[in-house]
Amino acid sequence: MAGLYVHIPFCRHKCAYCDFYSGPLRGFRAEEYVEALIAEHSVRRLADRYETIYIGGGTPSTIHPALLRPLLSLGPGERTVEVNPEDVTPQMATQWLQAGANRISMGVQSLIDSELEAVGRRHTAAGAIRAFRTLREAGFDNISLDLIYGLPGQTPQTWRRSVEDILELEPEHLSAYSLSYEPGTLLHTRLLTGKITETAEDDIVEMYEFLCTATHRAGFNHYEISNFAQPGRHSRHNSSYWDSTPYLGLGPGAHSFDGERRSFNPANLGEYMKNPAGAFQIEEETPTERHNDIVMTQLRTSRGLDPELLTPQERTKARRLLQPTPEGRLRISEADWLRSDPIMIELIR
């Protein structure tokens, strides 16, 4: 079993909070870039067929859907394309389906126009709702939407409206992230210069609690810190990362795991284009680092941590800090997930 991640690092505009590797095409044609991805895959392939394929970015919806077909044809299972609402038209939606996508992940972030504007999103709330309906009408029956809480100017009341309006659309999957101010982003500079202030801790807790309650009520399963799914609709691709399934990441900045070793491509389009299959570097990991990585990843999920990974002393500590699951594993409770760092720090070596 293996997964395939494909990074499309192009964005027409940089959102104020974003520190992903993305930017303009920088003189390359999208066709050339896809050829480089295919060349990288032909040398580094992990499997003939992948269980899951995820085309992420960046903004994959900035390039013609037909260009994605050779990549989406590499597996029969879950095949996701990330899109931005402003790129969704009936024609594009049909072309993503024809190219082989069977799942869409769309960044909505908020359904309040002033909040979208404050972080430089290019779409409105009405535009995002329209885009969702267009995807449904085209035939997508598996759609994931992203939201962010803690945005500048957001309050527990406006968050409540965004969540309620999103749930009314009845997506199959929801990802909700707490805003983090990453150094180097425009939002971080605005914070440092006092132009904006961070959302109060109590408000973040209230937003998280409302999110948990509203999604439970709507039938979602909170299966990972930031992810909620209707029964049977969890992201198989992301779940395979958490299960240590091997995956190949194509494109600049993409990470891979072949079952034993981790590697990554440089986050530099020019460097990548010179030698797509040879640009990667091996990430040296000590056994302790590997162990800690597995522990932290498992603690992010509702399935929880396998106690067999721990020494007897560690297990005693883990039983004190964590909840038992019916399967005999140990998990961080949903209420503690929001501020889980201190618990994870206690449990790593």
* Binding residues for ligand SF4 (CB under 6 A): 11, 14-15, 18, 20, 22, 57-59, 84, 107
Q: State how far the Cα of 176 lies from the Cα of 146, in Å rounded to an integer.
A: 6
Nearer to ligand SF4, 2 or 166 (CB): 166
Nearer to ligand SF4, 14 or 290 (CB): 14
Q: State how far the Cα of 16 lies from the Cα of 296, in Å rounded to an integer.
A: 28
Minimum distance of ligand SF4 from residue 122's CB (angstroms): 8
Minimum distance of ligand SF4 from residue 83's CB (angstroms): 10
Minimum distance of ligand SF4 from residue 286's CB (angstroms): 32
Minimum distance of ligand SF4 from residue 23's CB (angstroms): 8
Nearer to ligand SF4, 186 or 277 (CB): 186
Minimum distance of ligand SF4 from residue 237's CB (angstroms): 17
Minimum distance of ligand SF4 from residue 210's CB (angstroms): 24
Nearer to ligand SF4, 59 or 301 (CB): 59
Q: State how far the Cα of 231 lies from the Cα of 200, in Å rounded to an integer.
A: 33
Cβ atoms of 182 and 19 closer than 8 Å: yes
Q: State how far the Cα of 169 lies from the Cα of 104, in Å rounded to an integer.
A: 14
- Token readout for 217 is 């009520």
Minimum distance of ligand SF4 from residue 22's CB (angstroms): 4
In DSSP notation, 313-333 reads: HHHHHHHHHSEE-TTS-EE--
Cβ atoms of 100 and 50 closer than 8 Å: no
User: What sections of the chain are H helices per DSSP?
Assistant: 30-44, 69-72, 90-99, 113-118, 125-138, 156-168, 186-192, 201-217, 236-242, 269-274, 287-299, 312-321, 334-337, 341-347
Nearer to ligand SF4, 52 or 59 (CB): 59
Nearer to ligand SF4, 10 or 280 (CB): 10
Q: State how far the Cα of 103 lies from the Cα of 232, in Å rounded to an integer.
A: 13
Q: How open is the CA angle 23-132-143, to the nearest 5 degrees? A: 85
Minimum distance of ligand SF4 from residue 84's CB (angstroms): 6
In angstroms and rounded to an integer, the radius of gyration of the C-alpha atoms of the chain is 20
Nearer to ligand SF4, 101 or 179 (CB): 179
- Token readout for 137 is 């009408």
Nearer to ligand SF4, 2 or 116 (CB): 116
Q: State how far the Cα of 87 lies from the Cα of 92, in Å rounded to an integer.
A: 8
Minimum distance of ligand SF4 from residue 28's CB (angstroms): 17
User: Residue 288: is it exposed, middle or buried by C-beta count within 10 angstroms (0-12/13-18/19+)?
Assistant: exposed
Is residue 9 left, alpha or beta, with left meaning phi > 0 and alpha meaning psi from -120 to 50?
alpha
Closest listed residue to residue 30, CA positions, set 73, 60, 74, 70 = 60
Residue with tokens 């070596």: 349
Nearer to ligand SF4, 57 or 304 (CB): 57
- Token readout for 227 is 């992810």
